[in-house]
Amino acid sequence: MQHYFIDQELNLGMELTLPAELYQHAIVVLRKQVGDQFELVDIHQTVSIVTVTQIEKKTAQVKVVEQLDQNAELPVAITIACGLPKNDKKTELIVEKGTEMGATSFIFFPSQYAIGKWNKQKVAKKLERLQKKATSAAEQSHRNVVPTVEYRENLAAVADGNYDCRLVAYEEAGKTGEKSVLAQALTNLVTSNSAARLIAVFGPEGGIAPAEIDLLKAHGFAICGLGPRILRAETAPLYFLGACSYQLELASVD
């Protein structure tokens, strides 16, 4: 069943007119007919099943027929912060696949070893495109939330956030056999009694500079390894999210 997001509150039995973008995709592209159903997620992250009740030229009416107790979100809000990859394709891959794997937000920033650069005049357009990627991926994976995508001008601006857990994935730690920091951090989050916020920082293709590691440590970040293999810039955050999903959703099942 198709899954879309709508910027309003939905209640059982209410009728509404589809926004133009949803009309275009559901009615024009997918050729939904009267009586067909799909899912809408409202501003409270509630998933509702709606039925198409009327179709006119450029508009369509739907009715909320069921509200689901459905939550596809990770139990911890995870922010993925990445030094700028060398091209837009890699950035888009991180956002698209990271959304499918449960990230709550993404931050991109210029770092010392980064090859990629963002023209300040093009930042807004890049973020708009990436936000669309996140929305599409959230619809495809039936998320309750569309992740946000941000750009910060430096690593210090990334580090200054309100988080319960701060990690930086550092390949040098993996090379020396570090293997307990990530597991222990996730175990602590599983046993906490409240919703937690985690941020994980990843370097670009050139890695994270020692001075950047020092800055992050000064802001309370713990250094973690992701195993002995060297991962690509776009692979590391996805590997991390997979590990989080296992520890927070699968291994913790009673």
Q: What digits encode the pLDDT tens for the residues 10-21?
A: 999 999 999 999
Give the number of domains in the chain. Answer: 2
Q: Are residues 97 and 202 in the same domain?
A: yes
Q: Are residues 7 and 116 in the same domain?
A: no
Q: Are residues 83 and 102 in the same domain?
A: yes
Q: Is 115 in a helix, a strand, or coil?
A: coil
Would you say residue 6 has pLDDT above 70?
yes
Token digits of residue 151: 């750009």
Q: How far apart are CA 142 and CA 253, in angstroms?
A: 21
Q: Are residues 123 and 27 in the same domain?
A: no
Q: Are residues 124 and 236 in the same domain?
A: yes
Q: Are residues 165 and 119 in the same domain?
A: yes
Q: Are residues 54 and 140 in the same domain?
A: no
Which residue range forms the structural domain that includes residue 88? 76-250
Angle of helix 88-100 relative to helix 123-140, nearest 10 degrees, comes to 30
Q: Is 248 in a helix, a strand, or coil?
A: helix
Task: Write the pLDDT tens digit of every residue in 11-51.
Answer: 999 999 999 999 999 999 999 999 999 999 999 999 999 99
Query: What single letter denotes the amino acid at residue 106?
Result: F
Token digits of residue 234: 């776009």
Q: Are residues 52 and 132 in the same domain?
A: no
In residues, how long is the chain?
254
Which residue, among 102, 27, 16, 25, has the nearest Cα to 57 in the 3D structure?
A: 27
This prediction's pTM: 0.93
Q: What per-residue confidence (pLDDT) applies to 139? A: 97
Q: Which phi and psi (to 5°) does residue 47 adopt?
A: -95, 125
Helix (H) or strand (E) holding 91: helix 88-100
Query: What single letter denotes the amino acid at residue 52?
Result: V
Give the residue from 15, 33, 68 where a domain finishes.
68
